């Protein structure tokens, strides 16, 4: 439920799903679904700018709801339609998600993929097929547990639980939360005053929130290898 808890789990040789529903992993799925060649996740604006100078790519990232200075595009999945992103390389700053991905790498994960409602079925089908130990790793917000990443973890568990043993109480908490919310995820976020709901609504991004809670809008599986997220 938080990167600060990842060390409690044995990630060695596991499949780790990086979850950052609002909006990094939703945007990653969307850009790849719409034909991006690959995506390079970086943890700072400076690294994004640097890579932008080295390779022919789209640089993207936001700070406080605006495109970060020195970058060209934002974090919204709606920016990455096929007309725009097809065939291009996207370098995306995502602080919480990228840090978590590197933590999972350091702990010896066998595979790292990214998950969001946008690619829910692709993730669950992959996990069932792989038959490997799985860690659903919520990016959270500066280590603070958030509702939407927990809901997505719950949605995955709901669909794969017949194929796995659940080894921790947090998984049971996530799937119960998801069952309570499943009928209306957006309404649940609103009612429960979710911190990112408030933050993004404050930037006028209701459309983004609604999209990021909608299953299977961009049903591909981004796999991380050698610094790149790509569909294989």
How many CA within 13 A on the CB side of residue 51? Answer: 24
What is the end-to-end Cα distance of the chain in Å, rounded?
28
- For a second copy, give the closer residue by CB, 6 or 60: 6
Choice from 108, 166, 203, 227 touching a second copy (CB under 8 A): 166
- For a second copy, give the closer residue by CB, 92 or 194: 194
Angle at the Cα of 68 from the Cα atoms of 28 and 200, rounded to 5 degrees: 65
Residue 93: strand pairing partners: 42
- The DSSP symbol for 68 reads P
Asked if residue 118 lies in contact with residue 26, where contact means CB atoms within 8 angstroms, the answer is: yes
Residue 51 CA: distances (Å) to CA of 29, 60, 125, 140, 196: 21, 11, 33, 26, 29
Strands 58-60 and 89-93: parallel
**Residue 131, interface with a second copy (CB under 8 A)?**
no
Window of 22-30, 40-48, 71-79, 178-186 that interacts with a second copy by CB under 8 A: 178-186
Q: How far is the CB of 33 from a second copy (least distance, A)?
A: 28
- For a second copy, give the closer residue by CB, 1 or 31: 1
**Residue 192, interface with a second copy (CB under 8 A)?**
yes
Choice from 131, 144, 207, 210 touching a second copy (CB under 8 A): 144
* Main-chain phi, psi angles of 59, to 5 degrees: -105, 135
- Residue carrying structure tokens 């991006």: 36
Burial class (CB in 10 A: 0-12, 13-18, 19+), 131: exposed
**Residue 1, interface with a second copy (CB under 8 A)?**
yes
Choice from 63, 82, 180, 207 touching a second copy (CB under 8 A): 180
- For a second copy, give the closer residue by CB, 38 or 141: 141
- For a second copy, give the closer residue by CB, 14 or 147: 147
Window of 30-38, 106-114, 168-176, 216-224 that interacts with a second copy by CB under 8 A: 168-176
E strand or H helix that includes residue 111 = strand 111-115
Q: Report d(CA 164, CA 220) in Å as an integer.
A: 22
**Residue 150, interface with a second copy (CB under 8 A)?**
yes
Window of 46-54, 103-111, 122-130, 164-172 that interacts with a second copy by CB under 8 A: 164-172
Please report, as residue ranges, which positions from 50 to 89 form the binding site for a second copy (by CB under 8 A): none
Total number of residues binding a second copy (CB under 8 A)? 27
Site residues (CB under 8 A) for a second copy? 1-2, 4-5, 8, 142-147, 150, 166, 168-170, 172-173, 176-177, 179-181, 192-195
């Amino acid at each position: 439920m938080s990167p600060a808890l990842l060390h409690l789990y044995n990630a060695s040789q596991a499949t780790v799903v990086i979850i950052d529903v609002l909006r990094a992993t939703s945007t990653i799925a969307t850009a790849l679904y719409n034909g991006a060649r690959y995506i390079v996740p970086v943890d700072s604006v400076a690294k994004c700018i640097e890579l932008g100078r080295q390779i022919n790519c789209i640089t993207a990232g936001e700070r406080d709801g605006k495109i970060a200075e020195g970058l060209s595009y934002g974090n919204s999945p709606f920016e990455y339609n096929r007309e725009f992103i097809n065939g291009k390389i996207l370098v995306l700053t995502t602080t919480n998600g990228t840090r978590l991905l590197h933590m999972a790498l350091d702990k010896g994960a066998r595979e790292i993929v990214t998950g969001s409602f946008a690619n829910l079925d692709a993730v669950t089908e992959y996990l069932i097929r792989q038959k490997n130990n799985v860690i659903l790793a919520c990016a959270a917000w500066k280590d603070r547990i958030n509702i939407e990443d927990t809901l997505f973890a719950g949605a995955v568990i709901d669909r794969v639980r017949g194929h796995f043993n659940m080894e921790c109480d947090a998984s049971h908490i996530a799937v119960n939360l998801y069952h309570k919310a499943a009928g209306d995820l957006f309404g649940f976020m609103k009612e429960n005053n979710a911190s990112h709901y408030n933050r993004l609504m404050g930037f006028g991004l209701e459309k983004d929130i609604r999209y990021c809670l909608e299953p299977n809008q961009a049903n591909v599986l981004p796999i991380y290898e050698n610094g790149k997220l790509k569909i294989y």
